[in-house]
Amino acid sequence: MRRVVITGLGLVTPIGIGVDATWQALLAGKSGAGPITNFDATGYASQFACEVKDWAAAAPTWFDKRELKHYDRFLQFGVAAAMMAMDDAGFADRKVPAGEEDRWGCYIGAGLGGVETIENTHDTGRSKGPRYGFSPYFVTDIIINMVPGMVTIRTGARGPNFSHVSACSSGAHSIGEAMRLIRHGYADGMIAGGCEATITMLGVGGFNAMRAMSTRNADPAGASRPFDNDRDGFVIGEGAGVVILEELEHARARGARIYGEVRGYAAGSDAHHVTAPAPEGIGAQRCMRAALADANLAPTEIGYINAHGTSTDANDKNETAAIKAVFGDHAKQLAVSSTKSMTGHMLGAAGSVECAISALALTHGVLPPTINYTTPDPDCDLDYVPNQARPQRVDAILSNSFGFGGTNACLVLARV
Block mean pLDDT (10 aa), the chain, length 416: 97 98 98 98 98 97 94 98 98 96 98 97 96 95 98 98 97 98 98 98 97 98 98 98 98 98 98 95 98 98 98 97 98 97 98 98 98 97 98 98 97 98
Phi and psi torsions of 23, nearest 5°: -65, -45
Q: Are 2 and 182 in contact (CB under 8 A)?
A: yes
**Contact call for residues 34 and 48 (beta carbons, < 8 A):** yes
Q: Which of 164, 173, 250, 308 is catalytic?
A: 308
* Continuous segment of H or E residues that includes residue 209: helix 201-209
Q: Which of 50, 164, 345, 355 is catalytic?
A: 345
Alpha-helical (H) ranges within 365-404 are none
What is the Cα–Cα distance from 295 to 106, expressed in whole angstroms?
A: 23
Nearest in space to 236 (alpha carbons), one of 219, 223, 252, 249: 223
What pLDDT sits at residue 3? 98
* pLDDT at position 1: 85
Q: Are 82 and 193 in contact (CB under 8 A)?
A: yes
**Distances from the Cα of 7 to the Cα of 85, 91, 322, angstroms:** 8, 11, 31
* 308 belongs to the catalytic site: yes
Nearest to 350 by CA among 168, 184, 100: 168
Question: Contact at 8 Å (CB) between 401 and 111?
Answer: no
CA distance 339 to 25: 11
4-260 has which fold?
Answer: Peroxisomal Thiolase; Chain A, domain 1 (3.40.47)
Among 50, 106, 168, 380, the one annotated catalytic: 168
CATH architecture of residue range(s) 265-414: 3-Layer(aba) Sandwich (3.40)
3-class DSSP assignment, residue 31: coil
Crossing angle of helices 313-327/282-295, nearest 10°? 40
Q: What is the reported pLDDT for 355? A: 98
Q: For the chain, give every residue range classified as CATH 3.40.47.10.
A: 4-260, 265-414
